[in-house]
Amino acid sequence: MQDYNLEKIRNDFPILNRKVNNNKLVYLDNAATSQKPNSVIQSLNDYYTNYNSNVHRGVHKLSVEATDEYEKARFKIADFINASSNEIIWTRNTSESINIVSIGLKNKVNSGDNIVVSRMEHHSNLVPWQQLCKEKNAELRYLDHDIAGRIDLDQAKKIIDKNTKIIAITHMSNVLGVINPINSIREISKENGTLLVLDGAQSAPHFSVDMKEIDCDFFSFSAHKMLGPTGIGVLYGKEALLEEMDPFYFGGDMISEVTYEGAKWNDLPYKFEAGTPNIADAIATGFGVDYLVDIGMDNITKHEDNITNYALEKMKDLTDYKIIGPLDMKDRGGVISFTHNSVHPHDVGEILDKFGVAIRTGHHCAMPLVRSYEIVAACRASFYLYNTYEEIDIFIDSLKEAESYFNKL
């Protein structure tokens, strides 16, 4: 673990030197994807330049080197979340990870059963469960939350019962920024013998997650939100449950034996990894994790909390902007969604871009949640380990300029 040297960290990210519309880039769209440090970028170049080869079963040097680095990355992920390497499955992204789980668990859900999700879920952790309930004639129940996004645990205890087969919930909301009370929900799930599936896309990049401590049954996240490349994700599952589940894809590498009459599946984790894997990006993901570990997740969380609190305090003076989600730092992360009383979010986003400030606008793949606040879209600023107080000041000034521009029309 190193001291938090923000200047050094920023120098590791070449894109942060870019100018946008003749202004310094202020990148505040980290909940959508993070920027990449030199070590991750260089690892991709190194793989394709020096040891590009397919993994597993090859006896030549390039294949052996590629296999070693590929599997080393899996061990890095396992250590990062305190799991066993055979419980780590490479996927394309969080969405695919959750789909693997929803399809793999379908035999555990029958007519008359129910599945529980929150009302703040990303579509990736909502639509798969909607489809499973339709297929199985099961009921989909929703955890309620208050205006700030706090889950109603009393209501949770009422709707989670012995017929609840699965609870699927986001660890941290990509819209509200709220960090959900997973420990309490886990206890309720245990009381009812219910499986707990966590969407960790917004938590794993920003604070320490420990599978032994959380004790969830499945946990998913995407590399590109935590300094890694796009197109690769991770599914963690408890070994016993993964052993029970059928594969999602079929083909090479996920089999141990094939005859004309049938096939036998490979051992974990390979039975869920059909075909040539995303080798280069898996290796690069390992380098992204190295970077996070070197800085220290607790250091990153502390920095992001300070930056987020600073932004929240500054936004209190912008009376025509309304924050959606918690107004304080209690159980929240570095995501702030907001609207303006009279200016459409897309217009706000376009004006901010003219000042080099990158935010996200829209429904953030959480359409039912956004609509529940009687809006069709929202602006979202999201922070990461390389953001600065100066950037928050530029962000706030840009919001004032956006408001001023439309007031003149």
Which stretches of 172-254 are DSSP H helices? 182-191, 211-214, 239-244
199 token code pair: 């969407």
Q: 133, 216, 365, 379: which one is catalytic? A: 365
Amino acid type, 55: V
Q: In whole angstroms, how far apart are CA 240 and each of 21, 43, 156, 218, 237?
A: 53, 34, 27, 11, 8
Q: Concatenate the DSSP letters of all residues of 299-362 into one string.
A: HHHHHHHHHHHHHHHHHTT-TTEEEES-SSSTTB-SEEEEEESSS-HHHHHHHHHHTTEE-EEE
Q: Is 365 a catalytic residue?
A: yes
**Quick count: other Cβ atoms within 10 Å of Cβ 364?**
24
Phi first, then psi: what are they for 186, rounded to 5°? Answer: -60, -40
> Are the C-beta atoms of 322 and 344 separated by less than 8 Å?
no
Q: Element (H or E) spanning 7, and its range?
A: helix 6-11
> Are the C-beta atoms of 380 and 49 separated by less than 8 Å?
no
- The angle, 0 to 180 degrees and rounded to 10, between the axes of the packed helices 297-315 and 279-295 is 80
Smallest CA-to-CA distance from 158 within 145, 141, 172, 181 is with: 141
Residues identified as active-site: 365
